[in-house]
Structure 1
C-alpha cells in the first residue's frame, strides 16, 4: 500500500490567540505561513503522487505555500471536527465546561453541542484516508507517497487508529502546526512511521525494489522506514490541536 504523509496546517490567528477555530475561515498568521514554507522545503524533495486537503482555508493555504503549483484535491472527509457552539470561544473558557474532562479522558463519548461527535469525526477521517490510500496505491503502485493536509484532532485520530489505539487514548498524541506524521497501511497491519515530525523527510523515498514483504515488521526491533517522534507534553490536550511549538 501507499504511504500517507499527514500534514497539519500552519499556525493560525486562532491558535495564536488561544481560540478554538473549528470550521470557521481562520487564516494562517505570519508564523504559520513561515511554517508552511519550511514544511514545503522538506516535502518537495519527495516524489509525491498527489495531495488531498481539507476544504478549510488554513489547510488550502498551507498546501499552496508548501507545494506551489500543486493541484490539491479537496475532500470534506478531512475537514476539522465540528465543534458546534464551542467554535470561536477561548480555550481557557472552554476548559471550565462540563464537557471538557470528557473530551480529555473519554473523547469517544464526546458530542459537541450543535456539532459533531468525536467518534464520528474519527470514523469519517480514517475512512477518507484509507480510501485515498487505496486509490493512490492502485494508480501509482505500493511505493507511492501522498500528502493529506488536515487538522490537529483529525490527524491525531487517524494516528490512533493506525496504532490500534482506542479513541480514548488519542489525546496522548501530539500534532503540532506544520508537522508531518507518516503512516503506511498494508493488508495485514498499519505502520506508524513518524509522528509530529519536523525534520528531514528524505528517508521516506522508497528504496530500490528488493525481495521481502513490506507488510512485515523487521525482526529485532527495526522499522520498515526511519521513525521519529517529537512534541511536548501537557496535562490536558488542547482541543483542536492547539498552536504547539514553532517550526
Structure 2
C-alpha cells in the first residue's frame, strides 16, 4: 500500500494570536507560515508524488500551493474528512481562556470522551480522518501502484489522531504526540500494519533549546489544542 506524507499547514495568523481557529473562515498563513510553505517543494523534491489531498480550509490550501506550482500536473483533491476538528462554540476563542473550561481537562486527559459544545467529538474527528486515509490509500494504490507516495495536508489534532491510529494507540494517548506547523509525518501502510517513518519532522531542532526564562518545550504541562504555533 502507499506511503502517506502528512503535512500540517504552515503557521497561521490564528496560531500567532493564540486563537483556536477551528473551521473559522479567512484564517490565512502568517509571514512565517508562507515561508514554511515555500520551503515545502524542496523538502519533498526527491519524492515522486502521486497526488495531493487537502483539507478545504484556506491555510491548508495555501500551504500546498507552492508544491503544486512546482509540479505542473500534480493533482489536488479537496477532502472534507481531513478538515479541522469542529470545535463548535470554542472556535475563535483564546486558548488562555479555554484553559479554564472544565472540558479542557477532559480534552487533555480523556479525549475519547470529549465533545465540543456545538461541534464534534474528538472520537468522531479521528474516525472520519482514518476512514479518509483508508479510502485514499486504496484509491492511490489502484491508480498509481503499491509503491506510490502521496500527501495529505491537514491540521494538528487530525494528524495526531491519525498517528495514534497508525501506532495502535488509544485516542486517550494522542495528546502525547506533537506536530508543529508545516511538519512532515510519514506513514507507510502495508496489508497487515502501518509503519511510522517520520513524526513531526521540521528539520529544525531550535525549538528544543532552553528558552530565556529557563524553560523548554518539554516543560509544557498540557498539549496544545489545535496543534499550537510551534517553536518561537
Q: So what's the TM-score if we normalise by structure 2?
A: 0.90
Within 2, Cα distance between the matches of 1:105 and 1:166?
A: 12
| Residues 110-121 of structure 1: pairs in structure 2 closer than 5 A | 110-121=114-125
RMSD: 1.5
Task: Note the C-alpha offset of 1:139.
Answer: 1.3
Equivalent position of 1:27 in the other structure: 28
Task: Note the C-alpha offset of 1:39.
Answer: 2.0
Equivalent position of 1:16 in the other structure: 16
Within 2, Cα distance between the matches of 1:179 and 1:67?
A: 17
Within 1, Cα distance between the matches of 2:162 and 2:185?
A: 10
1:189-209 Cα distance to aligned partner (Å, 9 max, x none): 110111001239xxxxxxxxx
Equivalent position of 1:108 in the other structure: 112
| Residues 178-193 of structure 1: pairs in structure 2 closer than 5 A | 178-193=182-197
Task: Give the match's secondary structure for 2:102.
Answer: coil
Within the alignment, does 1:124 sit opposite 2:134 as a pair? no
Q: So what's the TM-score if we normalise by structure 1?
A: 0.85
Mean Cα deviation higher: 92-101 or 36-45: 36-45
Within 2, Cα distance between the matches of 1:59 and 1:48?
A: 17
Identify which of 150, 163, 169 aligns with 1:165: 169
8 Å Cα contact 1:44/1:67 also seen in 2: no
8 Å Cα contact 1:78/1:154 also seen in 2: yes
Within 2, Cα distance between the matches of 1:199 and 1:145?
A: 20
Task: Note the C-alpha offset of 1:65.
Answer: 2.4
**Where in structure 2 are there 5+ consecutive unaligned residues?**
209-216
Within 1, Cα distance between the matches of 2:173 and 2:40?
A: 27
The verdict on how the C-alpha distance between 1:4 and 1:241 changes in structure 2, with shifts beyond 3 A counting, is: same
Within the alignment, does 1:85 sit opposite 2:89 as a pair? yes
Higher helix share: 2
8 Å Cα contact 1:53/1:59 also seen in 2: yes
Within 1, Cα distance between the matches of 2:67 and 2:12?
A: 15
Equivalent position of 1:6 in the other structure: 6
Within 2, Cα distance between the matches of 1:155 and 1:114?
A: 22
Task: Give the match's secondary structure for 2:146.
Answer: coil
Equivalent position of 2:222 in the other structure: 236
Task: Note the C-alpha offset of 1:107.
Answer: 0.3
How many residues align? The count is 217
